[in-house]
Amino acid sequence: MSLEMKIPAVGESINEVTIGNWLKQDGDHVEMDEPICEIESDKATFEVTAEAEGTLKIKAEEGDTLEIGDVLCEIEEGEGSGSSDNGSDSSDSSSEDSESKKKDSENKSEDKSDKEDKDKSSGSKSTGEVVEMNVPTVGESITEVTLGSWLKSDGDFVEMDEEIAEIESDKATFELTAEAQGILRIEAQEGDTLEIGDLICKIEVTEGGESSDSDDSDSSSSEKSESSDKKESESEEGYAKGHPSPAAAKILSEKGIKPEEVKGTGPGGRITKEDAQNAKKSEGKKETASKKEEAQAPAAASKGERNSERKRMSSMRKTIAKRLVSVKNETAMLTTFNEVNMQPIMDLRKKYKDKFKEKNGVGLGFMSFFTKAVCQALLEWPAVNAQIDGDEMIYHEYCDVSIAVSTPKGLVVPVIRNAEQLGFAEIESEIIRLAGKARDGKLSMDEMQGGTFTITNGGIFGSMMSTPIINAPQSAILGMHNIVERAMVENGEVVVRPMMYVALSYDHRVIDGKESVSFLVRVKELLEDPARLMLGI
């Protein structure tokens, strides 16, 4: 009997997905809930897991765009497994199955019985219960996420609360943990965009653990792998040799390469996706070389390679791009500048940094001074701490300061809550904690949402001056820059001072010029006289 598997609903607003890559090949034997492929949306990647045990028949190729409900593949379910006797060895069990199932005695049926007996000998016993795991709620305003990457593969044994995948929103990455112990069956692929509540995977609950008898499990696993590979090779030798998988066939067709021109390295000589990609790259290099020769025919040949690489944008990068363009188009953004003499703060840090660290366990950095100065100025100029909500203005009587942090996956802005109530040491500790979690991709949605004002420090990368973009729905952002010694005139004399340009980008719909300039001047005054910050004046 054939079971049709269709594209599952992966999010409330997601209507279509793209086939990322197949984890199994056409004709492979798959286990129930074993990950077979990855599907991608605009924000996440999800693994699709087999809904039954049997032989996989692929109906969609890698790179295809399918709508929700479209047929993804079929699984020809096997009949029986011969695994009722837990103590029998695999060859006897396979023989019993073959005799009792003479009408349907095929090599793949034998593969199935072997596989099931080996699984039982590994010390893990199925309870028959299947736990469905759905995309959890990760934030009040978050309706969809992107499946970033699977930390486990389809068919892997997972422990309760073990991390199995990473899901991404437009601001943060979250880890998904297993809700039960058992065999993982992936339903969504990496790159897929899912809505909250969509099915992401299933877990076939088992009793006992994969590690309960490690020696026997390893031996059984090895025997299982050897037996499976041998039978697959024997059963597919005639059909698979020189025959491309669906994904490989599509790649070869696009490149105009005939299957007989490609040597297959897969089981039984099957042409795999990697084989097709290698052939594609080979043809691509020839084509590129040909075009280059034509273009450079009139001129002297250039030296050196001219390689390029095309990569798919990550979901986070695409979201960042959309948000930045949206801010530019939907706000009346202006930037005002000033400069700050950093000598007083540098002298204060030099004098007390050792005692400060000894007492509080954290260093005394520039960010705590800027955060305190910003909070004081925000309380005095509340429009800078406000935001537009429809036809209304919301004025916040607290300061939730977002701190921009650069991570390998992009810029994120964790929030320091009620920063106006925190001391220097508390602010430094919170910055260290949030920045560390951001770089490790461990930030929660609560730690990313609700900021009322943002501080970004391009100076750590050497930026001299910039016009930072507002972090919507906030109305303003302060940009810090590099500290450079410059000649300044003080009391009629030229002196050298460590100076920093500061920039305030603001939404002119909310903040008038007087308020923006006055706010920035107040920040400058507080920074150039740190005693004001400590006394709150």
| Catalytic positions | 508, 512
Respond yes or no on whether the N-terminal peptide bond of residue 8 is cis (omega within 30° of 0): no
Q: How many CB atoms lie within 10 A of CB 470?
A: 21
- Which residues on adjacent β-strands are paired with residue 401? 416, 453
Residue 13: strand, helix, or coil: coil
Q: Cα 322 from chain centroid?
A: 17
Kindly state the tokens that stand for 362: 């954290």
Q: How many CB atoms lie within 10 A of CB 119?
A: 24
Pure H helices in 187-337: 214-240, 246-255, 273-295, 315-330
CB 166 within 8 A of CB 174: yes
Quick one: three-class SS letters along 465-480? Answer: CCCCCCCCCCCEEEEE
| 3-state DSSP percent of the chain in helix, strand and coil, to 5 | 35, 30, 35
> Which amino acid belongs to residue 119?
D
Query: How far is residue 332's CA from residue 25's CA, in Å, rounded to a whole number?
Result: 53
Query: How far is residue 54's CA from residue 2's CA, in Å, rounded to a whole number?
Result: 9
Closest CA to 38 of 49, 27, 30, 28: 49
Closest CA to 353 of 434, 435, 424: 424
> Which amino acid belongs to residue 59?
K
Closest CA to 39 of 22, 57, 59: 22
- Strand 392-395 versus strand 386-389 pairing type: antiparallel
Looking up tokens 């009949």 gives: 79
- Which segments within 15-143 are labelled E, that is strand? 16-22, 29-30, 35-40, 45-49, 54-58, 65-67, 71-77, 125-134
Query: How far is residue 7's CA from residue 154's CA, in Å, rounded to a whole number?
Result: 17
Q: Give every CB contact of residue 15 below 8 A, 6+ residues apart in sequence.
A: 67, 68
Query: How far is residue 180's CA from residue 162's CA, in Å, rounded to a whole number?
Result: 9
CB 51 within 8 A of CB 201: no
